[in-house]
Amino acid sequence: MRMRTKKFKLPHIPSGKDVAGLLEQKVIVVSVFGKSPYSAGGCKAGLIDGFPGHRVFHTSLIDDPDVDQDLLCDIEGYHDPKQRVIYLHLRGVFDVHTLVKSYDLFSKELEEKGYLSVWADMKYRYARALMFLFSVSHILIISHPTHIFDISYVHLFRALDVMRQKVLGGFSEILRTIPGLSEEWITNCRPCSPRVLFLFESCPAIYLEGRANVARTGSGFGGKYPSIKKLEHALEDQIYHILRKSRVITNISSNSLFAIPANQEFVFVQTKVNPLSDRNAHMVNSLVDFCKDPNNDCSRNKEEIVNTFSTLHLEPNDHSFRSFLQQHIDQAFTKGFDDNVGRHTAHGYFEGIPGGKVSI
């Protein structure tokens, strides 16, 4: 049986055995951050689990994860050696589950200093972790529980860009101590201008898979089921317009915090209901189904039952997040990203990260 690479938390220093044979192998870093409801348990990387073929970040329905009490956030990681990708997942105060679990840590300060002061401090801690992701990632995925773009990200991105410009000098000095890095990497303090993709975890009911009959009879579409692509393209136009107008993205990607692809899709809207999005409801429904099946053995232990509830289903789908993300990963390994636009833009730079240099 093939051994599965385990999940780790940053900061992480892999053993010599883990790094053996990877020192010269280039890897791509894909990071996930964003917001999630309480029922998700802080996990936004459930769709990422389809790539290694088993659950990595959302391992069990009874998980109740904690975060670092000082930083109020955690960065989880997973290295997929077959795909040559390192996945990073940020849990923090933007996740309702983390915010609720951390309430006792800042409740006294909340009474003394007030909401605005405490929330500003929590956002600052979150932004520090996010700055790390923007400095090491090739692809970043912003996950959001609804299908509406959160305009508050604009303020966060602009603040991060200002912060990045201020710390470039210090970062460069640190990177110069690492052998084998190119001058462009040292100067810009990142392997490339990261590409940002947007994942919306829900959609209007008319687009949900399995409800086509309802859509045809009650939506007034004359029997034609609406295409989710129309919604995704409309969101792409809206997001691009907002980010351009606020100057979060510019013609020259190396001058910006991140870039979005000019001629590729960068928005994915989930049309399939994820049963794990509400863990309590899923566990109750699974327990009912388990009890109804006369073939189930009641002598099985808790571990076997929990694993039954948490089985990962990888069903083929024309509209799948796997194929959406894979095209960007494939491009990263072949020609890299050059998301500059306009007539007189400089050629973009892109570098894969050597496997032996990811133990940050």
* Predicted local confidence at residue 107, as pLDDT: 87
Structure tokens at 284: 């109750």
**Among the residues of the chain, which ranges form H helices?**
16-19, 96-101, 103-113, 115-136, 152-175, 183-188, 212-218, 228-245, 279-292, 302-309, 321-334
Predicted confidence at residue 20, as pLDDT, reads 53
Dist CA 56 CA 18 (whole Å):
18
- E strand or H helix that includes residue 268: strand 267-269
The whole-angstrom distance between residue 102's C-alpha and the CA centroid of its chain comes to 22
The pTM assigned to this predicted structure is: 0.83
In the chain, which residues have pLDDT < 70?
1-5, 12-24, 50, 52-54, 59-61, 209-226, 274-280, 282, 294-318, 342-352, 354-360
- The dihedral through the CA atoms of 325, 331, 333, 336 has a sign that is negative
* Number of other CB atoms surrounding residue 325 within 10 Å: 21
Q: Give the per-residue pLDDT at 16.
A: 58
Angstrom distance (rounded) from CA 107 to CA 254: 41
d(CA 307, CA 61): 9
Burial of residue 269 (number of CB atoms within 10 Å: 0-12, 13-18, 19+) = buried
pLDDT per residue as tens digits for the range 38-74: 888 888 888 887 676 667 777 566 777 888 888 889 9
The answer to whether the beta carbons of residues 355 and 23 sit under 8 Å apart is yes
- Which candidate, 116, 98, 87, places its Cα nearest to that of 37? 98
